[in-house]
Structure 1
Amino acid sequence: MKNIISMLLFTAGLTLSAQVGINTDSPKSTLDVNGDLNLRNKIVVLNVTDNTLSQGNNDQLLVSQGEGYPPIWKSLRIPEYEPNKFYLIFNNSFSDKTGVKFTNSEQSSIVSKNTAFVKGADISNLPGFKRITGLTQPISVFSTESKTYFQFETVVQANLPVNGTPDISIDYACGIFVDNKLVNLRQRNLKASSASNTFITHNQIGIISNLSKGTHTVSVACSRLGSYRTAADIVLAIGTNASTNINSFITQSSLKVDVYEIPQIFNPITN
């Protein structure tokens, strides 16, 4: 009889009280258990869209969606890794339609390209380089052993006249930077052709090994290096158009970043 009365009193307490504490006099939620919890049957979650109860599937986890939202069942996926092998851990791609332009007076003042264009050169020591804004983005590295690949593509155009003799042309360079340090550079020449307003496709691939763990900033910057028999009004455009025979959709830039690592940190993944 005492047990029955105790159960009735406990049930009444659950009904009357907004918060119930077990082994605590100051519960902080609807049910606050201060101690071990042993479940012998099942946990179900209310689906608020159709008011059904979900028990989840085998090997699923109950995951919080944040304050004010009910938890949901998620499947745990832990990829299998072989020791000392590289795996694609981070990859992303970015695009930009704004690009950069250079007038005849914005030509780089770099005299010795042989000493200036070296791996690790800071962008502040490369006068005349302009960043392509939309390609400045963060990337993540989780291991001390990694290989990061960059693939940059854009269109380069100048409002050049029809070519003559000797050639009418412009030298330019584009560099890939990580944390403002040069990791890859390509120098090319845009030469006038038999038609005016010449444009070419520029492709560039770079790689750097063993970036430090953490977040880094990748960027692309270009420069006008030299001009040959060009008039003062000739504009060099990289990632944008210098004339109306092409548009910003055609000339847009893209940058793809892939980070391959020997895994050292294993983050559980749910879906």
Structure 2
Amino acid sequence: MKNKLSILFVIAGLSLSAQVGINTGTPKASLDVNGDVNFRNKIAVLNVTDNTLFQGNNDQILVSQGEGYPPIWKSLRIPEYEPNKFYLIFNNSFSDRTGVKFTNSEHSTITAKNTAFTRGTDISALPGFKKIAGLSQPISVFSDNSKTYFQFETVVQANLPSNGTTDISIDYACGIFVDNKLVNMRQRNLKASSASSTFITHNQIGVVSNLTKGQHNVSVACSRLASYRTESNVVLAVGINADTNINSFISQSSLKVDVYEIPQVFNPITN
């Protein structure tokens, strides 16, 4: 009887007063409980669309909608993805200090570069290209709708003498490959300067859309295309030093891979 009377007093207090406090003399809400709360049965929230009480579904949590709005039930998803938006799903970076070197006789035999250097060309059809071992790595794609970005950076050096009245230089190219298929290519020229053993920084950015779901292998390969007025002992080095004026730390290669996807595997939000 005593417990029933207490409940009646609380209900009566709620109906007579705008704010009721339990264990507090200064309530901040219609019902302000200062202390632990133990719910032994159920929690229901008013559904404003049809004026019914909704107890939520299994594994849902109450989420605030902000001041002045009632809370709602939502399915717990970590992270919270919104449909039709790209998210960074896979991200990794790799480095290599071994690099690749080409002697004066190791020139690519490719003659029609405008037709050979096209997207989708298999590396087996590009004679003279050498892979940078440490940059051959697996990547993962989880959605049919994706954009994959590659950023390759290295140092290219040759033990060239100081430049003469007619330029001394070397043409080279580097390509980014996915599953041995070309997705990005850059050609450049390394020219001798007033100092010997010229070196330059090589930066290359590529992008490919909608790789198939699953694991892929990314790699970087370079080639010595042509040489102009170089001696027989001149070596072209990519990602490794060709002379002692720089070291392997300065000349090392790096590759960064970012895969942005529209997620396809997640539970829908249930309000």
1:266 shift after superposition: 3.4
Q: Distance in 1 between matches of 2:157 and 2:183?
A: 25
1:144 shift after superposition: 0.2
Aligned to 1:204: 204
Q: Distance in 2 between matches of 1:243 and 1:93?
A: 27
Aligned to 1:169: 169
1:77 shift after superposition: 6.3
Q: Distance in 2 between matches of 1:266 and 1:130?
A: 41
Q: Secondary structure at the match of 2:172?
A: strand
1:140-219 matches, within 5 Å, as 140-219=140-219
1:10-159 matches, within 5 Å, as 78-159=78-159
Amino acid at match of 1:152: F
Aligned to 1:242: 242
Aligned to 2:257: 257
Q: Does 1:232 align with 2:232?
A: yes
Q: Secondary structure at the match of 2:105?
A: helix
Q: Distance in 1 between matches of 2:251 and 2:174?
A: 15
Aligned to 1:221: 221
1:106 shift after superposition: 0.6
Q: Distance in 2 between matches of 1:77 and 1:100?
A: 46
1:183 shift after superposition: 0.0
Q: Distance in 1 between matches of 2:164 and 2:146?
A: 49
Q: Distance in 1 between matches of 2:224 and 2:77?
A: 49
Q: Distance in 2 between matches of 1:165 and 1:183?
A: 38
Amino acid at match of 1:227: S
Aligned to 1:65: none
Q: Secondary structure at the match of 2:124?
A: helix
Quote the sequence identity (%).
83
Q: Secondary structure at the match of 2:115?
A: helix
1:83 shift after superposition: 1.2
Aligned to 1:24: none
Q: Distance in 2 between matches of 1:77 and 1:138?
A: 28
Q: Distance in 2 between matches of 1:126 and 1:162?
A: 31
Q: Distance in 2 between matches of 1:155 and 1:205?
A: 15
1:117 shift after superposition: 0.3
* Distance change >3 Å, CA 135–CA 201, structure 1 → 2: same
Q: Distance in 2 between matches of 1:266 and 1:155?
A: 43
Amino acid at match of 2:133: T
Q: Secondary structure at the match of 1:106?
A: coil
Aligned to 2:55: none
Q: Distance in 2 between matches of 1:103 and 1:115?
A: 25
Q: Distance in 1 between matches of 2:200 and 2:228?
A: 17
Q: Distance in 2 between matches of 1:265 and 1:116?
A: 38
Q: Secondary structure at the match of 1:237?
A: strand
Q: Secondary structure at the match of 2:156?
A: strand
- The CA RMSD measured in Å over matched residues stands at 1.4
Alignment size in residue pairs: 194
Q: Structure 1, unaligned stretches of length 5 or more? A: 1-39, 41-58, 60-75
Q: Structure 2, unaligned stretches of length 5 or more? A: 1-39, 41-58, 60-75
Amino acid at match of 2:201: T
